[in-house]
Amino acid sequence: MKRSVIWAIAQKDMKMITSNLQIWLPMIILPLMLGVVLPTALLIALKSSDLSSVKGIETFLNVVNQLPSGALQDKFDTLPTTNHKLIYLLTNYTLAPIFLLIPVMVCSLVAANSFVGEKERRTLESLLFAPVTVKELFVAKVLAALLPALALTLATFLIYGVIVDALTYSLFGGLIFPNWNWVVLILWVVPAISLCTILISVLISARVKGFQEAQQLAGVIVLPVVALVVGQGTGLLFLTPLLMGVIGAVLYAVCAVVLPRIAKLNDRELLFERQVH
């Protein structure tokens, strides 16, 4: 595999993202809304209101009190007021799945565009006529989606962290973010879910005709993540670092299952006959 070739294609693809409004606009807006605007607004609202007088807060507290004893329960016992508890829960748990949603969205957008886009622009032919192996092409396409996804997620994570700690420092007298959950999430689960999304998208892209279709199908991957967000939001699912580790491992396993299917596409003729014309 020639690194210079892989990098040339990946670089070209990443540059192309910026020239396609249909792609970069949602890529910027979603992380900005979910990772910056939403938490800021929520934190400001929570800090300025007395939650113990809010109706229905008992139900919430009941849920919290029924948590299995462990690190989270211990932590909760140390927090003095409902506001503290709610803010801690929100910043460290409820909003966490946003950081799964961002890489999934970025990856499915970019990956769906990368193969189908070459076909629609009739440039895939040029790539297949060049002394570039199909493997190099695939690796380049995966990198072109993976790198922006990881970069954007990490950037959002850092901004989110600064906002959370800045807004809660005075209340807690210390930093409440991040905890171990986040370390596992960002370093283990985010790359796993990104890779998984890309591989599935590539598989889809190689079979469909247009960009829109590829994106719609790729939406199938977003749905489970949305389910996870809803689950997390209702407080039914409290992820522990261990559980996160398991989820990451499952995702890597899915990648390992998808990879041989993609390897079957690793054939110039097949790719050419399906994609060019």
Partner 1 sequence: MIVAEGVQKSFQGRTILSDMSFGVKEGEIVGLLGPNGAGKTTTVRLLNGVIRPDAGTIRVGGLDPVTEGDPVRAMSGILTEGAGLYHEMSAVENLRFFAKLYGVKRADSRIHDLLRQFDLQAHRDKAVGQFSTGMKKRLGLAKALLHEPKLLFLDEPTNGLDPDGIREVMGYLKELNREFGTTILLCSHVLHQIEEVCTRYVFLDGGRVIEDGTLAEIEAKYLRTVTLRVETDLIVAGGQYAGYEAVRQEQAVEFALPSKDVIPGLLRQILQEASVYTAEIVNRDLETLYFQVRREHQ
Nearer to partner 1, 58 or 273 (CB): 273
Tell me the window of 12-20, 56-64, 153-161, 198-206 that interacts with partner 1 (CB under 8 A).
Answer: 12-20
Minimum gap (Å) between residue 15 Cβ and partner 1 = 8
Tell me the window of 1-9, 144-152, 189-197, 208-216 that interacts with partner 1 (CB under 8 A).
Answer: 1-9
The count of residues interacting with partner 1 (CB under 8 A) is 26
Residues 92-131 that bind partner 1 (CB under 8 A): 121-123, 125-131
Distances (CA, A) of 70 to 50, 74, 106, 236: 27, 6, 35, 16
Minimum gap (Å) between residue 118 Cβ and partner 1 = 9
Nearer to partner 1, 209 or 268 (CB): 268
Q: Is 266 in the site for partner 1 (CB under 8 A)?
A: no
Residue from 10, 30, 34, 132 touching partner 1 (CB under 8 A): that is: 132
Tell me the window of 14-22, 68-76, 147-155, 220-228 that interacts with partner 1 (CB under 8 A).
Answer: 14-22
Minimum gap (Å) between residue 254 Cβ and partner 1 = 31
Q: Is 4 in the site for partner 1 (CB under 8 A)?
A: yes
Interface positions with partner 1 (CB under 8 A): 2, 4-5, 8-9, 12, 15-16, 19-20, 121-123, 125-133, 268-269, 272-273
